[in-house]
Amino acid sequence: MKKFAWISGIVLLVMFAGIFWYKFYFVFGEGVKAGSLNYFVKKGVIFKTYEGRVVQEGFQSPTAGGLQSNEFRFSVVDEAVAAKLERASGKFVELRYNEYNGALPWRGTSNFVVTEVLSIEESGQTNRSALPYDQ
């Protein structure tokens, strides 16, 4: 009976560890988002984490006929990435991120964790050489 209890306990522990890993450490998706960096702050009561919000162009509405700004809320773990974003408030940024199934308190309040800043540009400026026609 003791042997069965030990094996059952180990199996349950391994299952719990696998579910925990899948929920909080498995990268569910990767992608790139771009928009104007609305704010970027370091906050928290116990765990100080970097949190930010990018407002994207266009509108998205949960109901027909309504308008709602499309926002991307994210967290940052890497100090070097956070230092770049702290100086980019109000600018157009392009961010690479990982999406997790769940948020951890020491990783931030969002399921989206930015891993890299691809570009930072002044808001409202476009690269004229990239346009297909003369203006």
120-132: pLDDT as tens digits: 998 655 554 454 4
Position 13 pLDDT exceeds 70: yes
31: amino acid identity, one letter:
G
Of the listed ranges 28-32, 96-100, 124-128, the one predicted with least confidence: 124-128
Question: Which residue's structure tokens are 């990018």?
Answer: 54
Q: Which fold has domain 27-130?
A: OB fold (Dihydrolipoamide Acetyltransferase, E2P) (2.40.50)
Residue 133 has pLDDT above 50, yes or no: no
- Determine the pLDDT at residue 100: 93
| pLDDT, position 1 | 80
Query: Domain limits of the chain?
Result: 27-130
Residues 47 and 115: their CA atoms lie apart, in Å, by 19
Distance of CA 26 to the CA centre of its chain: 14
Which letter does DSSP use for residue 128 in this model?
Answer: G
pLDDT of residue 66: 59
Percent of the chain with pLDDT over 90: 64
90-118 core/surface letters (b: 16 or more CB in 10 A; e: else)? ebbbebebbebeebbeebbebbbbbeebe
Across residues 21-27, what is the average pLDDT? 91
Q: How far apart are CA 88 and CA 72, in angstroms?
A: 16
- Please compute the mean of the pLDDT values over residues 96-125 and round it to a whole number: 89
pLDDT of residue 61: 57
Q: What percent of the chain has pLDDT over 70?
A: 81
pLDDT of residue 115: 95
